[in-house]
């Protein structure tokens, strides 16, 4: 099969394929090596960029306060998933007390990115460009040039002419994407700190300083004076490092504690895809964009040059809204499982809570129809984990939704690689 335009696997990702005599232990060791590369890159990246991220949060807050919007764009399947994910986070805050901020995702479906930006970009907007290493950067570069001329603040993750560029310290596209996801989650979480310090935003008056009292160790930002920028920046910098350490630990928990589930799911995927089956993926909100990324991963060539059929059940707004309107939101995925799912296929469901009704309905329908099922869930696993509603359940033990999604990205990236590396002998082990 020809290489896909949005291929995501780089040549630095280790052995092209484990041999026919590979054992489950060898696959487990490969999983540990994947975790080690992520741990090192995560520490290096955020140690280097923490202060710049803190200062960028301040600049973004000033623009949002003046009525600016976030405009994210990407054209390949993987880049589109990130553009849509960051837009969801800013528009629909899942953390109590965070305000909804205007954000738009452009994917190139409606025409050239530069033309789309020309229609909507305003002076105080913030423009983020997403692209994988193999993507054609020319369209993104032209779009960023227009945005900068318009007066927008521009952000990128490679050398493409953005005002603020953050280059992940790895050639592995999956690890790069995981670091970038943590980065834009951190921007979303910490831009709000500066809204609580109005005096630090250009054109805003300072308010009376908060007395954090005994809670100051939990909320160090509240005790800072509103005209003192540097102490707030320093506290935000420390918060960036804390969040990076948090995802590092949670990623390790997810891949270590769920190693058996991931290896079992990889075997099931290998057997299905090598024998003509397909993958279905689903999720809600940010998890819907992760399902989009899962499908991008499987449709693209991997470490051994294989690309496999996959369907994103969140993709078609016409189908989703028709089912939601005529039957109900709980059926938006299960009805598609009925339409597309065949015995022997595999369904991957992503849910931060493990309790989403439409996810549970889809998993049930998939089991009744003879599909293998994989669920990636957060918190304590919710109903999906407690009732073992999937054949392979990967639990990320956290109540912090951004960190759950970041760890789940590492898990499904690892699953994609393991599914290709496992052999028929390894799958049977």
pLDDT one-digit tens code per residue, 257-279: 999 999 999 999 999 999 999 99
Residues near 59 by Cβ (< 8 Å), separated by ≥ 6? Answer: 153
pLDDT one-digit tens code per residue, 351-380: 999 999 999 999 999 999 999 999 999 999
- Domain 258-428 CATH class label: alpha beta
Of 311, 255, 303, 252, which Cα lies nearest the Cα of 281?
311
CATH 3.40.50.10490, applies to 39-250: yes
Task: Confirm if 168 and 38 have CB atoms less than 8 A apart.
Answer: no
Residue 288 clears pLDDT 60, i.e. is over it:
yes
pLDDT one-digit tens code per residue, 31-82: 999 999 999 999 999 999 999 999 999 999 999 999 999 999 998 889 999 9
Considering the chain, tell me which residue range(s) the CATH 3.40.50.10490 domain(s) occupy: 39-250, 258-428
Residue matched to tokens 């089991």: 367
Q: 165 - beta bridge partners?
A: 156
How far is the C-alpha of 280 from the C-alpha of 183, rounded, in Å? Answer: 28
> What is the token pair recorded at 144?
């960023």
DSSP state of 258: T
> What average pLDDT does this structure show over 381-405?
97
How far is the C-alpha of 299 from the C-alpha of 297, rounded, in Å? Answer: 6
Report the b/e string of 132-157 with b at 16+ CB within 10 A.
Answer: bebbebebbbbbbebbeebebbbbbb
Sort 208 into a burial class: Cβ within 10 Å, 0-12 / 13-18 / 19+: exposed
Q: 394 - beta bridge partners?
A: 376
Mean of the per-residue pLDDT values of the chain: 88
Q: Where are the alpha helices (DSSP H) in 227-333?
A: 229-257, 259-274, 286-299, 317-326
How far is the C-alpha of 202 from the C-alpha of 331, rounded, in Å? Answer: 48
- Distances in whole angstroms, Cα of residue 366 to Cα of each of 108, 159, 258, 335, 426: 33, 44, 22, 10, 25
The whole-model pTM stands at 0.88
Angle at 251 between CA 291 and CA 55, to 5 degrees: 90
Q: 156 - beta bridge partners?
A: 165
What does the pLDDT read at residue 357?
98
């Amino acid at each position: 099969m020809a290489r896909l335009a949005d291929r995501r696997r780089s040549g630095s990702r280790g052995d092209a394929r484990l041999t026919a005599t590979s054992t489950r232990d060898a696959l487990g060791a490969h999983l540990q090596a994947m975790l080690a590369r992520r741990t090192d890159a995560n520490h290096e990246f955020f140690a280097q960029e923490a202060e710049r991220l803190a200062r960028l949060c301040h600049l973004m807050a000033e623009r949002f306060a003046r009525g600016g919007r976030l405009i994210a764009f990407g054209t390949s399947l993987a880049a589109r998933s990130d553009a849509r994910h960051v837009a969801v986070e800013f528009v629909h805050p899942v953390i109590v007390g965070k305000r909804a901020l205007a954000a738009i995702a452009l994917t190139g479906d409606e025409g050239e990115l530069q033309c789309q930006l020309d229609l909507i970009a305003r002076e105080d907007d913030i423009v983020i460009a997403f692209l994988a290493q193999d993507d054609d950067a020319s369209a993104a570069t032209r779009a960023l040039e227009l945005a900068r001329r318009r007066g927008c603040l521009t952000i990128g993750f490679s050398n493409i002419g953005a005002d603020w560029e953050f280059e992940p310290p790895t050639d592995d596209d999956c690890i790069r994407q995981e670091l970038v996801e943590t980065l834009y989650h951190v921007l979303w979480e910490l831009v709000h700190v500066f809204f609580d310090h109005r005096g630090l935003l250009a054109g805003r008056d300072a308010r009376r300083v908060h007395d954090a009292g005994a809670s100051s160790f939990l909320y160090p930002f509240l005790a800072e004076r509103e005209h003192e920028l540097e102490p707030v920046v320093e506290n935000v910098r420390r918060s960036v490092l804390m969040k990076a350490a948090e995802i590092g630990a949670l990623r390790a928990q997810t891949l270590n504690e769920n190693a058996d589930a991931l290896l079992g799911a990889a075997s099931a995927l290998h057997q299905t895809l090598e024998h003509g089956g397909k993958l279905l993926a689903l999720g809600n909100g940010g998890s819907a964009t992760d399902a989009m990324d899962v499908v991008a991963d499987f449709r693209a060539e991997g470490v051994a040059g294989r690309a496999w059929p996959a369907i994103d059940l969140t993709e078609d707004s016409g189908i989703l809204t028709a089912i939601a309107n005529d039957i109900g939101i709980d059926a938006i995925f299960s009805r598609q499982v009925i339409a597309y799912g065949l015995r022997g296929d595999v369904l991957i469901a992503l849910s931060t809570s493990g309790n989403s009704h439409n996810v549970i309905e889809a998993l049930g329908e998939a089991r009744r129809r003879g599909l293998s099922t994989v669920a990636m869930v957060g918190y304590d696993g919710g109903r999906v984990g407690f009732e073992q509603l999937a054949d392979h359940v990967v639990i990320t033990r956290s109540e912090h939704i951004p960190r759950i999604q970041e760890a789940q990205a590492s898990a499904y990236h690892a699953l994609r690689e393991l599914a290709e590396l496992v052999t028929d002998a390894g799958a049977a082990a």
